[in-house]
Chain A
Amino acid sequence: MLKNILQYLENTAARMPDKLAFSDGERTLTHGELLQISRRVGSYLSAKAYRREPVMLLLDRSPEAVAATLGVIYSGCYYVVLDTDMPLARMGQIMDTMKARVLVCDEKNTKKANELAEKGLFSGEILSWEEAKACSEDSAALEDIRSRQIDTDPIYVVFTSGSTGIPKGVAACHRSVIDYTEALCEVLPFSEDTVFANQTPLYFDAPLKEIMPTLKYGATVYLVPKKLFMFPVKLCEFLNAHRINTVCWVVSALTMISALGALEKTPPRYLTTICFGSEVFPRPQYDLWRAAYPDAAFFNLYGPTEATGMSCYWPVRDLLPDEPIPVGYPFNNTRILLLTDDGKEAADGEVGEIHMQGTCVTLGYYANPEKTAEAFVQNPLNPYYPELIYRTGDLGRYNERGELVFISRRDAQIKHMGHRIELGEIEAAAASVEGVGQCCCVYDNPGKRIALYYVGDAHPKDMQKALREKLPRYMLPAICEVLTAMPRTPNGKLDRKGLRERAEQEE
């Protein structure tokens, strides 16, 4: 019975122990080594009597950091990976939520761990990674732990930014991650020959889509050094040197390559599968990629952390010039409910809030029953027995083909001059204008003005003109400005709040 994600690792390591599993270009781990280190770390934590509780990880992004996460699961605990570059204050907020008794850090991050302790942000035990991975394996202890584990035990807690400024920790269990892995692998063409280039840090759930298929099939993941994402030619050279055939990246990482001319100069030569997501793909850049890889399989992936990684996929097809890129269909064993404000199913073509139902729905926000109760709710269509669904806060609708299309965040819906307007619709129209990169539309509520901010070459006058051709008059922005770069929150997300404040201050 498949009830524990470590079974993927164990099956694969038995089948192909010497195959490369993880590499950052310098340091490597085979599947066999990954299993060995994970079991040692599990034994070490178990010997220290940590069980079914959070273990904080403060490690550089490396193959060993992946082993650390698996080692924590071997011990019967669940991991929380900390961003080593995160400001101490934010780390403190996470510590405050987790109240963990133990933290594992590598030598390089010892100073930071001690600093956390000195500042009173962490009061538990600090363990050395170097010591943990050198511990001898205690098979009997690991077997005992396994026999007691069930598939609803948590594996990890991943932190997302909360609208209140306090990060929320999403806890997910074995069963959800197994469900996600199996469904993902049904749709995407992964196999033991897949060579991934991982872009997202380990403190998100995003790398699960590389790590889990790799454990399942015995594939290989290269952790791309973060700095390479600043230098497109170097990035492409890395992809070619390691014969990367699969990328699952955020849109901005792909557009970095295409917008700066590297697709022509040093095209990645081995790519056969290209997945993108998390942001709207500007059409001109999307078209460049499609033209460069006519034979590759492209997928748009969409999903909230609260529903374990990705929930929807869209295999690309030809789009009309102005057509937004759909998020497509739910993965197998996931159901999408599109609900209107009165808790009814949206009619055909009607906009509704996207809700997720199924094994993918995570356990909730760690130590936060209030926020959990707001977002993980009883299915309003079912008054008969308990059935939790997750409300994403995203608005969507189905197109004529029955594909789900993301419209905007729910909080991006405004009422302006009596009209209900999705700011996302204005953004989508602006993004389709030539020479426009990212756009953000906000509403200056006190001044009752729509403001559009964007990056790109298009002059605001041309932008206004183009929008007049695409949008009804009441949706035209009163403020239209070009920015050198979009402001970001500490999490790297678009800083909508900052832009709204800016709009409110404009003359």
Chain B
Amino acid sequence: MNEIIDILTELHDDVDFTTETGLVENGILNSLDIVAIISEIDDRFDVQIPAEEILPENFDSAEALWALVQRLDEA
């Protein structure tokens, strides 16, 4: 989880990612961020996010992203 927050903080150091749950909804992330997050998750966790999982609900908070990574890692 902390590593997810690290990734996000590197992109936007002015956001508190431990509490923010509207990363997509509130327009914090843009399309370039999504690409960067996917590539960082691949690098750090060796988890590849397939196209069908790149959905607003999976990127709306650090927690949702972490849940996605864990789910994909187990599969």
- Name the residue among B30, B50, B54, B56 with the largest chain A CB count within 10 angstroms: B54
User: A233 — which chain B residues lie within 8 A by C-beta?
Assistant: 51-52, 54-55
User: A266 — which chain B residues lie within 8 A by C-beta?
Assistant: 51-52
Is B14 interfacial (CB-CB < 8 Å)?
Answer: no
User: B34 — which chain A residues lie within 8 A by C-beta?
Assistant: 230-231, 256
Residue in B closest to A262 when the chains form the complex, CB atoms: B51
Q: How far is the CA of A253 from the CA of B35 in the complex (A)?
A: 11
Q: How far is the CA of A232 from the CA of B53 in the complex (A)?
A: 10
Residue in B closest to A261 when the chains form the complex, CB atoms: B51
Is B32 interfacial (CB-CB < 8 Å)?
Answer: yes
Tell me the A458-501 residues at the B interface (CB within 8 Å): 484-486, 488
Q: Is the CB of A230 within 8 A of B29?
A: yes
Is A8 interfacial (CB-CB < 8 Å)?
Answer: no
Q: Type the 1/0 row for B30-56, where 1 means its CB is closer than 8 Å to any CB of A.
A: 111111101110010000001110111
User: B32 — which chain A residues lie within 8 A by C-beta?
Assistant: 252, 485-486, 488
Q: Is the CB of B24 within 8 A of A260?
A: no
**Interface size, B (range):** 20 to 34
Q: Is the CB of A260 within 8 A of B52?
A: no
Q: How far is the CA of A252 from the CA of B35 in the complex (A)?
A: 10
Is B11 interfacial (CB-CB < 8 Å)?
Answer: yes
A252/B52 contact (C-beta < 8 A), A230-B24, A455-B36, A484-B11 known: no
Is A50 interfacial (CB-CB < 8 Å)?
Answer: no
Q: How far is the CA of A488 from the CA of B31 in the complex (A)?
A: 12
User: A260 — which chain B residues lie within 8 A by C-beta?
Assistant: 35, 38, 51, 54
A484/B52 contact (C-beta < 8 A), A229-B31, A260-B35, A260-B38 known: no
Q: Type the 1/0 row for A234-272, where 1 means its CB is closer than 8 Å to any CB of B.
A: 100000000000000000110010011110111000000
Tell me the B1-45 residues at the A interface (CB within 8 Å): 7, 10-11, 24, 27, 29-36, 38-40, 43
Q: Is the CB of B36 within 8 A of A227?
A: no
Q: How far is the CA of A294 from the CA of B38 in the complex (A)?
A: 28
Q: Is the CB of A231 within 8 A of B36?
A: no
User: A259 — which chain B residues lie within 8 A by C-beta?
Assistant: 35
Q: How far is the CA of A455 from the CA of B38 in the complex (A)?
A: 12
Q: Is the CB of A457 within 8 A of B39?
A: yes
A485/B36 contact (C-beta < 8 A), A227-B24, A261-B51 known: yes
A485/B56 contact (C-beta < 8 A), A260-B51, A265-B50, A265-B51 known: no
B61 to chain A, nearest CB (A): 15
Residue in B closest to A229 when the chains form the complex, CB atoms: B31
A252/B31 contact (C-beta < 8 A), A484-B11, A484-B36, A485-B36 known: yes
Q: Is the CB of B50 within 8 A of A261?
A: yes
User: B10 — which chain A residues lie within 8 A by C-beta?
Assistant: 484
Q: Which single member of A231, A252, A264 contacts B54 (CB below 8 Å)?
A: A231
User: A256 — which chain B residues lie within 8 A by C-beta?
Assistant: 31, 34-35
A389 to chain B, nearest CB (A): 35
User: B31 — which chain A residues lie within 8 A by C-beta?
Assistant: 229-230, 252-253, 256
B20 to chain A, nearest CB (A): 16
B3 to chain A, nearest CB (A): 13
Q: Is the CB of B56 within 8 A of A484?
A: no
A234 to chain B, nearest CB (A): 7
Q: Is the CB of B7 within 8 A of A484?
A: yes
Q: Is the CB of A484 within 8 A of B55?
A: no
A276 to chain B, nearest CB (A): 15
User: B27 — which chain A residues lie within 8 A by C-beta?
Assistant: 85
B19 to chain A, nearest CB (A): 21
Q: How far is the CA of A488 from the CA of B24 in the complex (A)?
A: 19
User: A455 — which chain B residues lie within 8 A by C-beta?
Assistant: 35-36, 39
Tell me the A188-244 residues at the B interface (CB within 8 Å): 227, 229-234
Q: Is the CB of A230 within 8 A of B30?
A: yes
A377 to chain B, nearest CB (A): 36
A454 to chain B, nearest CB (A): 12
Q: Is the CB of B50 within 8 A of A231?
A: no
Residue in A closest to B25 when the chains form the complex, CB atoms: A227
User: A252 — which chain B residues lie within 8 A by C-beta?
Assistant: 31-32
User: B51 — which chain A residues lie within 8 A by C-beta?
Assistant: 232-233, 260-262, 264-266
Residue in A closest to B56 when the chains form the complex, CB atoms: A231
Q: How far is the CA of A230 from the CA of B24 in the complex (A)?
A: 9
B positions within 8 Å CB-CB of A: 7, 10-11, 24, 27, 29-36, 38-40, 43, 50-52, 54-56, 59
With A457-B39, A485-B36 known, 15 other A-B pairs at CB within 8 A are A230-B24, A230-B34, A231-B55, A231-B56, A232-B51, A232-B54, A256-B34, A256-B35, A259-B35, A260-B38, A260-B51, A266-B51, A455-B35, A456-B39, A485-B32
In the complex, the 4 A-B pairs of residues with the closest C-beta atoms, listed nearest first? A485-B36, A261-B51, A265-B51, A262-B51
